Structure 1
């Protein structure tokens, strides 16, 4: 029956039998003797005790578990014998595992000594065996592309992951075995680092700094500010690096899609060619755009790298000046192309034809727009321009840019004036392009059927081709406008007010205005040719009664206030007051 005792190792209480206690005591004494000539003996012993306490905790199966000889021997086997790891100053230190070896034994800690802010990224780098820079970039990507989740994740890890404080924790963080040798070596390195700083210190300078405390505080504050700016510079550098890299990738992809028909042939390339007035090959324009935008982005990329990596080497002046020359040439070429592009639409040409409309004097002219079923089944469908084929399989430019106007003529015969319009770099070229516009209409009995579209051959390209229709009607002509007319009607409302409520209204051309013969009174207020507008104005707020005689009828209106308007039609009916 063995006697048990309670001992405190590394701040933890253990129940241990007497034999195991004696063995562990002799083990610690042997370690102290082996470290008698080592720097930082107390620090090393503290770390060793904490490591032993950690291993003994793993042996405990319950709160009542008693540490025995077997448990102590297993701990000694892991930690090693003191005589096997004695290190002399002049001898070579025992070999340990490499920095990123033994990944299974690594533990996740925050490396505050090497970290910039909280050591989260540096700790993750130790744990996964990669450079901490990649984790910093990853967090920044989630900050900007993940709606701020990178900041939340960083703070969560800051709180959840402990900081590596003891030597054992620092060794576990890098995956090095926590033995007497490794603990002693780590502590010796830290002590030697501190000793070296003291040996190389300028004590005269330190004395002057003590005398000038205020200067020292200011210097410390300046160092803090510089560190903050250093962190900001790295964050800014990462942002610039990500932005410029993604932009360059996008430009490179665009070069082989927008700028080349060799790899991808897509319908929208025809639209680009249609408005490419200079006939410069699309791949040339794409390459010039890539160079004009890509070279500044490349220098932004280098700037981001320099902000993140302070000792980054320069690419050299020859490369810089070469890229600058290429950029100037590209921008200059794009400017020339832009000027030529604008001059290609500097002039507007016109081709005018007149066609008589033969209808009987007593007939009502029915006006209607129609579509071609081959191009569109819906007469109300509109396109500025699109590329398609006609019934003969010829590629054409199809457009619904047709405008319709109704006007009065003093001639006895109605006629339709068709104006075809297009743009070009000269009047001659614009006129030639306008003459090539295909547009037609048809008169069937008392019906005027107007095409709702125009066609242009592909060789003419798109130069804002459109058609203006002017229908001139003699006074007294009666007509009806189909509901399709409202889609294309651009008539002057003061002369012809098209009523959208019905396509069955009858209109009559009079000397000054087209009048609706059967429209409701509330819709016909602007069609009265004899309507008059009277201004009311007096110098006070008194009530004024206005009496006016229209076509033999007396109209009376009471108006209170300084100013107002009264509008009366030819029937003597007040149709508007203000």
Structure 2
């Protein structure tokens, strides 16, 4: 039975029997004697590291002691010293008698020796067998064309290790890791270093200045790392919280969800699915940014391991693909606009006063001023419906002799038929009585119509000379888009006359009497406590007679106000 001993090879401990140890020791001594003094120690170190890697592969999980057979197999792979001794480049190129162990495996590393930034694309070029220039061109296109190149590069920078040792540099290029190639690589490194040293003007270099510059750059790196860690960590925590809320919100009542949670995909995608996509697509890049910041802040931070890195990268790619597919599908659902239109003339002449106000439904909302977008709720019969205050009124001019109203109900769908069908399902009500236009401040539609940007737009056409009297609550629903009158024409609750295409205020407080307010007024002629009719117009002064239930409460002259 052979004795066993423990050795430290390449930073790893191995148990090896006596015969195997003697053979390995003699082999390494022979290799050392065959090498030239230049770079000998570095070469021996790389050879030992490679042998340690091969020993780990040979042992696996079952065998504990390295025997003679393992050592001989390693020597076969690495080659004999006399076979690989290199006298000069010409001698090595003129003879082709060496034994070549087949080696076709490449490993992905970052090539810092030929790097422009982090060596990612140069390393990918070696691995894929393409010129890194093409990869750099693609990355520039992604960076400026789509904006994703930066994030992809940073993640690859974090995931892909740098080729530091000679063995790693040979693995990166797919070259056999034997004595010959190790010696060549080390000598190439020494030659490159010597060339760089020879090009320097030693008289202009100060070691103190070099140390100061190094410390400055280290400080800048740590400061950048601190800000990256701070911002990325806070954002990462926010993403986690939002994702957890979405994932576990499915147990909440649907009405509560509709009222309090709004997402880009609404409820077409389950909230737990949206939470997972949010966590994977945005959380993983932020997590790697945190690691990058820690690496800059604390250079010796331990890596999380390749298995974790590549697993997270795969999940991120999966999330991006899923997000893209869902986004395209959802965008298709909103690709076409549809509308249903209703037009109705109001039985008034251009000399009458038109009052207008909005009313709410107490069952759905107790406040006329409350505005809400699409939400799922129940009607009085306990049926699920979509409810919204997304109602807008636009003031328009007309050359006709009487006012009229156009109500447009709009919705979106994946085609015109579907969009128009959704628009027609919108239920909206208005009425006209005693020369007063009463508009609902809400609309409802079937819950099966889904959230497809349903809206109601009211276009009120006012002829020349008519008096327009808006209730104060009209200001919450005014919309200046597609309007002929500026929606800031003046305060609501006052009388406005259409004069030469403008709204002239008949009873707004003058600049000298800004404390005058008229909240509830009525007209004597119309007999409606919400309507006022001016009696005479003289120059820029109007005399207004205001009565409630036949009793005069205001009879004064007011200055016209126009904005």
Which of 1 and 2 has greater Rg?
Answer: 1
- TM-score normalized by the length of structure 1: 0.43
- TM-score normalized by the length of structure 2: 0.44
